[in-house]
A and B are shown apart, each in its own frame.
Chain A
Amino acid sequence: MNVGLIQLVTPDGCHDVSMTASELALPLSELLAHRGFPLNTRCGGRGLCAGCEVELRTGALRCLGDDTPPPAGASGRIKACQARAGAGPVTVEIPARSLQNHEPAVVSEFRINIPWARDPLVPGARVGAAVDIGTTTVALLLCDLATGKVLAEASAFNAQIRFGEDVLTRIQLCSTDPGAVARLQRVVVDETINPLLAEACNRAGIGLADVGAMTVAANTTMLHLLAGVDPTPMGVHPFRAAFLEHRQYAPRELGLRFGGDTAEVHLLPGPAAYIGADLAAGMVATGLLYDDGPALLVDVGTNGEIIAKVGDQLIGCATAAGPAFEGAGLTSGTRAVQGAIERVQLQSEPFAAKLGIIGGVAVPLGICGSAYVDFLWEARRTGILQTTGRFTDAFCVRAGDHVQRDIHGRKLRLHPRGASGPIWVSEVDIARLLQAKAAIAAGMVTLLSLLSVVPGDVKTLYLAGGFGLHLSLEHAIGCGLLPGLAVNQIQMVGNTSLGGAFLALQDRSLLDEMIAASKTMKAIELNLQPGFENAYIDHLALP
């Protein structure tokens, strides 16, 4: 029997959600997820992020433990993970930035720089699936193993996101809840990989039984969770992984639904706890492994991995940049999805912003990473920002109501009418971006100095990851993300994790190369590098 009713207001209209008596105690964020409105529960519902904020229009919500009203944040919004609906009717608005968007942008684009053979990893298989399990996004492609042709692609958010946005939150869950490993394993297999596989097979016009092989590249935590291995030791010093080596399974051992009795699943090998198989795959696909260098592979993501090669020296680190360049935790930030602003061009006098929006839609959803990179550079170029990341006083005077002040500081309006109100870039957002930028820049400078190389000597920097292939390199250099480099030294390579998985499917010798790369690469602990903290602070400023 239904005992409660919530009226939801989302950017695309109104929806009625009814509740049963047993659901009255559920956190609102969980109830909404069950009803098809998953929120960006980045901290796993612990009240630490603002990803689940909703606005209470009418009626009353309650705290989880008692009947008092939940506290509203500075923005006047309420954290849905800390609130529950009572029996009375309520109207709740979900702003676009809190709503998890189920259309990740192109994640299957990659560049392969090496030649490969047609010597499939699983002899006899007709079709193979290559999978990249990202903490946020999972991408899959099907490949005809006889011709090497890509048959279909599919991608979706990793359903584990609702247990926490970053790997550590999921690791923490495993260390406190004995059932969590099995639950996270089932969630990624049943809710993400199996549906993606079915979707891709459907598109390719083949049956699940035709797929005879799967290769999986991912960060070490995601591989643990796929294999059902407890990642707890990776959460605290000395950050040890339970396994890094290549592993082979039968699909049904992992709950994967494809193939017949001879089908195989291969988990690719990785070098270290925080430099995973995704990077081993990338080292092979980009050809970094065969490059005498000096060469760099930089993956701008939450973990911000960097690998450097000079002669036969191969070292790598994770800079832990955080998710700012993925749009997380910023006032109007969003992932690179349909409706996201992906390019920004600015004019200071009079102020004007020219925006490029993914899919060309009229009402933007928010701003994604590549546009934040544009913004940093453009705003410096036009005298809107100081090197400290603060708006210049001169600009604030002439910008009129484009610049506004709230309790957190100043913010600049890029668009008056986005999907949930105006689109802003605040000074706090800029400070977060500068911290992420500084972590990557400092990691890069630190690795290079260990090899006695200066950025100008780098022959090739392979830029992989989140930005896909759509970033302006001039602006990435100009805002100090890749200090000391020039455009002609950089090659954008896209999702090389998927690219490497795709290669391993077709050429078994490349799996051996990934194993060798993982063994050879030496992981550098940045916290033990005396120069890192200084470099981090140096790179906080804008050039």
Chain B
Amino acid sequence: MTTLEQLSEAVGAGKAKDAKALTQRALDEGARPGDIVDKALVPAMAEVGERFKRNEIFVPEMLIAARAMKEAMNLLEPHLVAAGITPKYTAVIGTVQGDLHDIGKNLVVVMWKGANFRVVDLGTNVPPAKFVSAIQEHRPQLVGLSALLTTTMPAMVETVRIIRTSGCPPVKVMVGGAPITQQFANEIGADGYAADAGSAVDKARALVGAA
């Protein structure tokens, strides 16, 4: 097996330490950072997403795989920046104001990175104005909003409303989080909803026209 194949397998199996070591080895062997992403990480995360959709793995296994992917990305990101490699699509994401949960959102971040999006993560407890200024600054095609609490669903409504009326460049809005439903997404005028990080990738690609 080549290093890239081994890396792909380590990420799929959620072996974070191996994933980090193999990424380093690939770099040492002279692999191009862009190739490591395209040939090892993207297929590995695509496979994880597929298996999730087929109910062959669940959230726990996906979180473990995503952590391995994150280790690899942490090593690669400086190299990618240095090499001037920027993915075609950009997404801004954050947990809405009042809410501090981010494990699910972080998983979406990794999956989107795994699908070759540039992801700007605004963190948790993000006020609507911060989303607006990030949209103005980064010109993303996509904005993701996460809420895990029944009580912060109204903040999601408010954030969508402010993004829509702020006069910032047009952008697709996608929402998610355990209490969110497709119906709620429709009601608040979001462009998309995904129940999990696996379908979040398909939905995101469809929304930006990459599918």
The chain A residues found within 8 Å of chain B, CB to CB, are 47-48, 168-169, 171-172, 175, 235-237, 388-389, 407-409, 427-428, 431, 434-435, 438, 525, 527, 533-534, 536-537, 540-541
Contacts and interface: CB of A to CB of B under 8 A. Distances in A.
Interface residues of B, number: 29
B59 A435 contact: yes
A284 to B, nearest CB: 30
B60 A168 contact: no
Given A47-B183, A438-B60, 15 more contacts: A48-B179, A48-B181, A168-B149, A168-B150, A235-B152, A236-B97, A389-B58, A408-B55, A409-B55, A427-B58, A431-B58, A435-B60, A525-B100, A537-B103, A540-B64
Nearest to B55: A409
A171 B102 contact: no
A236 B155 contact: yes
B103 A237 contact: no
B64 A169 contact: no
Contacts of A536: 103
B205 interface: no
Contacts of A172: 150-151, 153
B23 interface: no
Q: Which 6 residue pairs spanning A and B have beta carbons closest together?
A: A236-B98, A235-B151, A540-B60, A431-B58, A409-B55, A527-B100
Nearest to B179: A48
B149 A235 contact: yes
A303 to B, nearest CB: 13
B55 A236 contact: no
Interface string B51-84: 0000101111101100100000000000000000
Give the one of B102, B154, B183 with max A CB within 10 A.
B154
Given A533-B103, A536-B103, A237 B60 contact: no
B99 interface: yes
Interface of A is mostly: helix
Contacts of A533: 102-103, 106
Contacts of A389: 58, 60
Give the one of B60, B152, B154 with max A CB within 10 A.
B60
B182 to A, nearest CB: 11
Contacts of B60: 388-389, 431, 434-435, 438, 540-541
Given A236-B98, A527-B101, A533-B106, A168 B151 contact: yes
Give the one of A47, A237, A428 with max B CB within 10 A.
A237
Contacts of B102: 527, 533
Nearest to A539: B60
Given A48-B181, A541-B64, A431 B59 contact: yes
B64 A237 contact: no
Contacts of A408: 55
Contacts of B181: 47-48
A427 B100 CA distance: 28
A169 B153 CA distance: 11
B125 interface: yes
A168 B149 CA distance: 7
B3 interface: no
A434 B61 CA distance: 11
Contacts of B64: 537, 540-541
Contacts of B152: 235-236
A407 B149 contact: no
B124 A527 contact: yes
Given A435-B60, A541-B64, A169 B103 contact: no
B185 to A, nearest CB: 13
19 contacts: A168-B149, A168-B150, A168-B151, A172-B151, A175-B151, A235-B150, A236-B98, A236-B151, A236-B152, A388-B57, A389-B60, A407-B55, A431-B59, A434-B60, A435-B60, A527-B100, A527-B124, A537-B64, A540-B60
Interface string B145-169: 0000111111100000000000000
A534 B98 CA distance: 23
B103 A171 contact: no
A389 to B, nearest CB: 6
Contact of B58 (A168, A237, A428, A537): A428
B153 to A, nearest CB: 8
A175 B101 CA distance: 21
A173 to B, nearest CB: 9
Nearest to B181: A48
Give the one of B98, B106, B150 with max A CB within 10 A.
B150
Contacts of B55: 407-409, 427
Contacts of B151: 168, 171-172, 175, 235-236
B63 A537 contact: yes
A237 B106 contact: no
Contacts of A427: 55, 58
B66 to A, nearest CB: 9
A236 B150 contact: no
Interface in B121-160: 124-125, 149-155
Interface string B185-202: 000000000000000000
A237 B67 contact: no
B17 to A, nearest CB: 12
Contacts of B103: 533, 536-537
Contacts of B154: 175
Nearest to B101: A527
Give the one of A172, A407, A427 with max B CB within 10 A.
A172
A47 B181 CA distance: 9
Give the one of B58, B63, B181, B183 with max A CB within 10 A.
B58
A237 B97 contact: yes
A497 B89 CA distance: 53
Nearest to B100: A527
Contacts of A407: 55
B125 A237 contact: yes
A473 B102 CA distance: 32
Contacts of B124: 527
Contacts of B125: 237
A345 B188 CA distance: 49
Contacts of B179: 48
Contacts of B100: 237, 525, 527
B48 to A, nearest CB: 13
A431 B153 CA distance: 25
A523 to B, nearest CB: 14
Contacts of B155: 236
B108 to A, nearest CB: 14
